[in-house]
Amino acid sequence: MLRLICTVWLGLWLSTSAVAAELNIEITRGVDNPIPIAVVPFSWEGAGSPGEDVAQVISNNLRQVGEFQPLSRANMLSMPDEESEVYYRDWRILAQQYLVVGKVSQIAGSQSVQVQWEFFDINRERKILGEVLTGEMSQLRDIAHEISDVIYQEITGKRGAFSTKILYVSAEGPIENTTYSLHVADYDGRRAQVLLQSPEPIMSPTWSPDGSQIAYVSFETDLPRIYIQNLATGQRRQVSNFPGINSSPVWSPDGSKLAMVLSKDGSPDIYVLDLITDEMIQLTDHPRAETEPSWTLDGQNVIFTSDRTGQPQVYQANVNGGGFPERLTFDCFYCAKGQFLPDGVNLVHVRRETRQDNSYSIAIMNLETGRVVTLTDTALDESPSVAPNGSMIMFGTTYNGQGVLDAVSIDGRVKFRLPSSQGDVREPAWSPYLN
């Protein structure tokens, strides 16, 4: 098998100072041609200001996913807000392929708004679609994400992931008095809320397939135990209470099972709990460390990390038992935290190439061709989490000594950093589709 190691160097970095206050978007020059699209600032009709720049949210979404090149406002020749004001020539001159216009109007005497938006194909000089959306003023950001999803799907044929959310853990304060918190936020890090706070570590947050529950590891009893929490009600329950390590909870794609790591029988192994029958099966049984499970899309196999050959490598085992786990990674010194992209062919993982090379990066290996692409050029990367449409990968890394969350588009073109609060943030978990 011819194995090509191709590192996508992220090349020239242009740092644009964030238009949306906290986002730091770094754009690279890549090999692909991003689609030029103009999103004209939406007009506003109502008292005061709308509180959200809907067009900017849409622009940021499209830029961050890597496939689009939104036009800078300074270059726009006109600012139409509806079809009758659109002159296709203005946009053809600027080599734009698509145009988005809209207007936000406050419904008199209320906190409700109506958003009318329209979407045009510049080359064919025709309107693709238009919509009228209504909601509360406070939902303008959600509406902007919804519009982004429609645009994305219309142009690429793929479902948009802009209305998804993330979980992540933060650690704040001095070493002898650290506060650990579990947060949920929009996928871009905005509108973060604290779900849990503790003087003891929190780890491994994860989503149920329907997005209604989360699971995580908490040391609040001075021991690592797995908890499941209902997002709407906040109710939580302890799911495992075995001696030793209880960690790495991951729901199966159909939501009926929870894979986890338990070391109760002497060393960490992968177990699967049937959430309906409460039956527990042991999937691996090896004296070395087996950890970091993830599921294949058909729910038939579990991917996991094992150091049975000395250093961590990624393996796959069938849930129905029988046979030996199949080793998936071979050319790296240390390969861990493997997960399949939605295409079921590409495996994202954390990779350290050689013993001499002390850096840990996010990489993708194509299981059919064996080709490996390194997505990041930072050296302390961990915890990759994939958007449900496979368009972006978020991960934890270190910047200026602090833990931060970065996201990279799947083609490696665009990287953005989430707004960072005090302290370290780590362990992002991307939600499933929520709309």
Q: In sequence order, what DSSP letters do the residues of 394-430 get, joined into one string?
A: EEEEEETTEEEEEEEETTS-EEEE----SSEEEEEEE
Task: Report the residue from 34, 160, 312, 419 that binds other proteins according to the rule CB under 8 A.
Answer: 312
CA neighbor of 331 nearest in space, from 374, 390, 382, 375: 374
Please list every residue from 185 through 214 that binds other proteins, using CB under 8 A.
Answer: 201, 203-204
Shortest Cβ 178–other proteins spacing (Å):
8
> Residue 360 or 416: which CB sits closer to other proteins?
360
Q: What is the DSSP string of 203-231?
A: EEEEE-TTSSEEEEEE-TTSS-EEEEEET
Regarding 401 and contact with other proteins (CB under 8 A), the answer is yes
Q: Which of residues 19-58 bind other proteins (CB under 8 A)?
A: none
CB of 66 to other proteins, least distance (A): 25
Cα separation, 261 vs 249, in Å, equals 7
State how beta strands 346-352 and 246-251 pair. Answer: unpaired
* Side chain identity at residue 323, one-letter code: G
Interface with other proteins includes 391 (CB under 8 A)? no
The distance of closest approach from Cβ of residue 353 to other proteins in the complex, given in angstroms and rounded to an integer, is: 13
**Residue selected from 104, 289, 348, 407 as contacting other proteins according to rule CB under 8 A:** 289
Residue of the chain from 81, 142, 292, 353 that contacts other proteins (CB under 8 A):
292
- Considering beta carbons, is residue 350 or 387 the nearer one to other proteins? 350
353: contact with other proteins by CB under 8 A:
no
Query: Does residue 218 touch other proteins according to CB under 8 A?
Result: no
By CB under 8 A, name the one of 183, 257, 352, 417 that touches other proteins: 352
Strands 24-28 and 414-417, how do they pair? antiparallel
Burial of 104 (0-12, 13-18, 19+ CB in 10 A): buried
| Cβ nearer to other proteins, comparing 26 with 307 | 307
**Which among 145-153, 234-242, 378-386, 409-417 is the span making contact with other proteins, rule CB under 8 A?**
378-386
Q: Work out whether 240 is an interface residue with other proteins (CB under 8 A).
A: no
What is 93-162 written as a DSSP string? TTT-SEEEEEEEEEPTTSSEEEEEEEEEETTTTEEEEEEEEEEEGGGHHHHHHHHHHHHHHHHHSSPP-T
Parallel, antiparallel or unpaired: strands 98-106 and 35-39: parallel
Q: Can you give the binding site for other proteins, defined by CB under 8 A?
A: 175, 178, 201, 203-204, 219, 222-224, 244-245, 247-248, 261, 263, 267-268, 289, 291-292, 305, 307, 311-312, 334, 336-337, 350, 352, 358, 360, 380, 382-383, 398, 401, 426-427
